[in-house]
Amino acid sequence: MILRPIHGPLENKRAFSVATKTHSGAERIMKRHQDATNDVINSRIAGLVEYFPFLRSVSNDGLALIGESLETVQASGKQTLIHRGDAVGGVYLVEEGALRVYSISPRGKESTLYWIEPGQSCILAMNCVFSNILYPAWVENDRPRSRISVIRGDVFRKLHESERGIQQFTVDVLSSRIFDLMSTIEEISTLPVGHRLANLILKKSKPPGHLAMSHDQMASHLGTAREVVTRNLKQLEKLGAIRVERGYTTLISTKTLEQYINGELPD
Decide: 179 and 187 in contact? Cβ < 8 Å. no
Q: Taking Cα atoms as reference points, which of 82, 221, 54 lies closest to residue 140?
A: 82
In this prediction, residue 206 carries a pLDDT of: 79
> Mean pLDDT across the stretch 141-169?
95
> Mean pLDDT across the stretch 50-79?
92
In this prediction, residue 7 carries a pLDDT of: 47
Condensed to tens digits (0 to 9), the pLDDT of residues 180-205 reads 788 777 777 788 899 989 988 988 88
Helix H or strand E segment including 96: strand 90-96
> Mean pLDDT across the stretch 48-56?
93
- Whether 13 has a pLDDT exceeding 60, the answer reads no
Q: Would you place residue 71 in the very low, low, confident or very high pLDDT band (cuts 50, 70, 90)?
A: very high
Condensed to tens digits (0 to 9), the pLDDT of residues 231-267 reads 999 999 999 999 998 888 999 999 999 899 888 877 6
In this prediction, residue 155 carries a pLDDT of: 96
- Whether 107 has a pLDDT exceeding 90, the answer reads no
Average pLDDT, the chain: 84
- Phi/psi of residue 98, nearest 5 degrees: -165, 150
In the beta sheet, which residues pair with residue 156? none
Could you give all domains of the chain from N- to C-terminal order, each with its CATH number?
Answer: 49-188 (2.60.120.10), 192-261 (1.10.10.10)
- Whether 34 has a pLDDT exceeding 60, the answer reads no
Q: Taking Cα atoms as reference points, which of 214, 175, 198, 188 lies closest to residue 112?
A: 188
